[in-house]
Chains A and B, each alone.
Chain A
Amino acid sequence: MEIFRITRNAWGQETLEGISWDLLPVAFGLGIAFIVGHLVWRALRRRRGSGKGGQSPSSL
């Protein structure tokens, strides 16, 4: 997977074109992974909190 888009001009010099769009699905996947991770963490905290008789709403 490339990090950058690099092309060569007519003289064979490398030119930086920008960030690689291979990273688009990576960014989307990281967003989904964070959401799923937070949902799991939240569920675990809620289960632990209910076992201790509740928790502060600000810590959710």
Chain B
Amino acid sequence: MFHWITALAVLLLLASAFLPIVGFKFSWVPLHWITGLVLTAAVVFHLVRASFFQRLRCIWIRVRDFGDASAGRRAAKYTLAQKLMHAAMGTAVLVVTVTGVIMLAKVDTPLWKRDPYLLETSTWGVVYVLHGAAALLILMLTMTHIYFSLLPEKRAYLRAMIGGQMTRTEAAQFHDPNRWSGERKDDPRENHK
């Protein structure tokens, strides 16, 4: 559910940001800021959940991951490619979210009045540059993310993203059961692996 809410929010944000630039004119600002609030809520939810209720170190990129990937060894919970995609997308989404929240000060909404003098003009420019650069990076990462999900050999991951689970046999194709059992996070076998 979290993935699909985030995915829908990102796609709507990319569409409302870039379609007007390529010539599709519509009232994009309300859709953009409202969807931006949804993405911000999703990011906050994910940060809290991952930090306090999940095993955060599973997603950390370690030197060992590069050795495992080049040697063709199976990963623990996440493959190197998944960790790299998460790091890149996570960084870009954090930048776009923080700058987007600041930019909300320039929008008149039923909830608040705009205050364009919150920052100096030059600082606003930096905020816009960061927001735009992160958005372009998210466009590239979204394209590659969708491409990887459609590869036949990754079909189990796509089914897991839709149905919420994969079989142990499917998981064992990419993940070493001795390094990640797929059990609860307090499973002692999963510590220090």
Contact = CB atoms under 8 A, between A and B. Distances in A.
Interface string A30-50: 111011001000100000000
Interface of A: 4, 9, 15-19, 21, 23-24, 27-28, 30-32, 34-35, 38, 42, 55-60
Q: For B126, B131, B140, which residue has the most chain A Cβ atoms within 10 angstroms?
A: B140
B143 A35 contact: yes
Interface size class of B (residues with CB under 8 A): 20 to 34
A58 B128 contact: no
Nearest to B134: A19
Contact of A58 (B74, B121, B139, B147): B74
Given A18-B129, A58-B73, A58-B174, A28 B139 contact: yes
A24 B136 contact: yes
Given A19-B133, A58-B72, A27 B140 contact: yes
Contact of A55 (B18, B72, B129, B143): B72
Contacts of B147: 35, 38
A19 B74 contact: no
A56 B21 CA distance: 44
Contacts of B131: 18
Interface in B83-128: 121-122, 124-126, 128
30 contacts: A4-B129, A16-B122, A16-B124, A16-B129, A17-B125, A18-B131, A18-B132, A19-B129, A19-B132, A19-B136, A21-B21, A24-B21, A27-B137, A27-B139, A28-B139, A28-B140, A28-B143, A31-B139, A34-B140, A35-B143, A35-B147, A38-B144, A42-B151, A56-B73, A57-B174, A58-B74, A58-B75, A59-B69, A59-B72, A60-B153
7 closest A-B pairs by CB: A16-B125, A19-B132, A18-B128, A31-B143, A56-B72, A59-B72, A27-B136
A35 B74 CA distance: 24
A40 B46 CA distance: 35
A37 to B, nearest CB: 10
